[in-house]
Structure 1
Amino acid sequence: MQSRQLMILVSLAAGIAIGGGLPLPAIAAQDDISKVTGSVDVAADARVGDVDTVNGSIAIDTNAQAGAVSTVNGSIKLADAVRAGELSTVNGSVRAGRNVRTGEVSTVNGQIFIDRGSNVAGDLSTVNGAIGLVGTRVEGDIEMVNGDLTVGANSHVLGGIHYDKPGFQWLSLGKKLPRVVVGPGAQVDGDMVFERDVDLYVHQSARIGKVTGATAKTWSGDKAPPQD
């Protein structure tokens, strides 16, 4: 997982050099949008190919479709009902609205939040950031190092959850343990493997796979337990 940062940087650089990754089949004939410096805004209902920039954020408005979406220094924001391919950034957050469909989602330094009714056709990953899901289906795994994780109400992770052991460069970020919450009606099909200490809370109505490296604390009600 710690090598993932370098892998993302290399893949982003290569993708920008050749125009990004593979677009979704339904929009393969659309034009790509590529910048080195500056933000990118995709209008509502637009149909575009890959979208990438190096220094800038990317915003895709309601009901638009895009291929792979990537930036190095900037955030990615998808409005409701967007269809997109892989989402990736190095230094920035990823935020998706309701009823969004995407491929794999990754960031190195930044948060990921995906709202109700959405589907991720791949993995979710971050090195130094939090992940929050509400009523979202993730077809792959969730991979993390630092940061809190909330598999919110009625979310479904078909893969597992893996927290990698932080390297020396991350130890200076503080002693607060990551907080992992699996909410009401949520489901994690695969194993949950923790190679570092975390605070793990699992709602009594949730269903999870085998847990290694942590002890789950059961909770009930609509609100997650308060932060220790």
Structure 2
Amino acid sequence: MRVRPLVSLIALSLALAGGPALAQQNIDKVFGGITAEAGQSYGSLETVNGGITIREGATVRSAETVNGGITIERNAQVGDVETVNGGISLDDGARVRGAEAVNGGIRLGRDAKVDEDVDVVNGGIKASQGTVIGGDASNVNGAISLIRAEVGGDVTTTNGDITLTGATIRGDLRVEKPTGSWWRSNSNRLPRIVIGEGSVVEGELLFEREVELYVHPGAKVGKQTGTAPRMLDSADAPRSDD
């Protein structure tokens, strides 16, 4: 007759004992940085003024800051990663669900993986060899450089350069028409699009504004709308204003 109450009491005691440990998995700050230690598991990491460092092999549900960068070390795994003022860096073999920055670039190391999208407003995107972006890669201002990397969706910019070096884009490569202040601040500069040797764009080349376009004879591209290509026979494409 006493067994069931005793089991219930033990279960309650374990739950209460485990409460503080579970609470520690979520870290929320206003001032100061956050570090997720190597090999450990965490819930959400959030700070307003400070950077976030996720050590090698750590697992984190999400990481978000307003003023600060986010560094994800080798083989760490994170869900959504977001910052307003600061960059995002994934070391070799790191993996995130999605990455988003407003003022700051995103750098992806060798064999890094982003399951969904990489979005930037003001900042570049650089993906190294073996990197896979499952969704789209886009920015407004800043260079996009894909070096033997793969993007499963579209690659889009408004005022930035796009350089493909042995890279593959499964979707479209798009340059959108600037509007408002974006256009006024960049009106004298044309985006430079370089599709280097061994690169593949399976979708279309869609240009809503004038660009400088260089396509290596050894590259493969889909249907093109807009500017006619200027053929490229070297890895370094000069700008027309150089």
The TM-score bracket by the shorter chain reads: 0.7 to 0.9
Give 3-state SS (helix, strand or coil) of 1:169's partner. helix
2:160 matched to 1:142?
no
Q: Is the 8 A contact 2:56 2:73 kept in 1?
A: yes
2:90 matched to 1:84?
no
2:72 matched to 1:57?
no
Structural mapping, 1:25-40, within 5 Å: 30-40=42-52
Please, which of 96, 99, 111 is the counterpart of residue 124 of structure 2? Answer: 111
| Percent identity for Structure 1 against Structure 2 | 39
Residue 213 of structure 2 corresponds to 200
Please, which of 44, 52, 55 is the counterpart of residue 43 of structure 1? Answer: 55
Instruction: Give how far 1:144 is off.
Output: 1.1
Structural mapping, 1:178-197, within 5 Å: 178-197=191-210
2:209 matched to 1:160?
no
User: TM-score, normalization: structure 1?
Assistant: 0.84
What stretches of structure 2 of length at least 5 have no aligned partner? 1-27, 29-40
User: TM-score, normalization: structure 2?
Assistant: 0.79
Instruction: Give how far 1:75 is off.
Output: 0.5
CA RMSD of aligned residues (A): 1.4
Instruction: Give how far 1:85 is off.
Output: 0.9
Task: Give me the whole-angstrom Cα distance separating, in 2, the residues matched to 1:63 and 1:42.
Answer: 10
Q: Which amino acid aligns with 1:162?
A: R
Higher strand share: 2
Structure of higher CA gyration radius: 2
Task: Give me the whole-angstrom Cα distance separating, in 2, the residues matched to 1:99 and 1:157.
Answer: 16
Q: Is the 8 A contact 2:159 2:186 kept in 1?
A: no
What stretches of structure 1 of length at least 5 have no aligned partner? 1-15, 17-28
Q: Which amino acid aligns with 2:93?
A: A
- Residue-by-residue CA offset, 1:13-38 (whole Å, 9 max, x unaligned): xxx9xxxxxxxxxxxx8412111110
Residue 109 of structure 2 corresponds to 97
Instruction: Give how far 1:168 is off.
Output: 2.8
Q: Which amino acid aligns with 1:47?
A: T
Q: Is the 8 A contact 2:73 2:92 kept in 1?
A: yes
Residue 228 of structure 2 corresponds to 215
Residue 4 of structure 1 corresponds to none
Task: Give me the whole-angstrom Cα distance separating, in 1, the residues matched to 2:217 and 2:236.
Answer: 11
Task: Give me the whole-angstrom Cα distance separating, in 2, the residues matched to 1:64 and 1:214.
Answer: 42
**How many positions carry a matched residue from both structures?**
199
Instruction: Give how far 1:174 is off.
Output: 4.5
- Residue-by-residue CA offset, 1:166-206 (whole Å, 9 max, x unaligned): 11312223412110000110000011110111000001010
Residue 21 of structure 2 corresponds to none
Task: Give me the whole-angstrom Cα distance separating, in 1, the residues matched to 2:230 and 2:76.
Answer: 41
- Residue-by-residue CA offset, 1:24-63 (whole Å, 9 max, x unaligned): xxxxx84121111100000011111111111110001111
Greater relative contact order (Cα < 8 A, sep 6+): 1
Residue 123 of structure 1 corresponds to 136
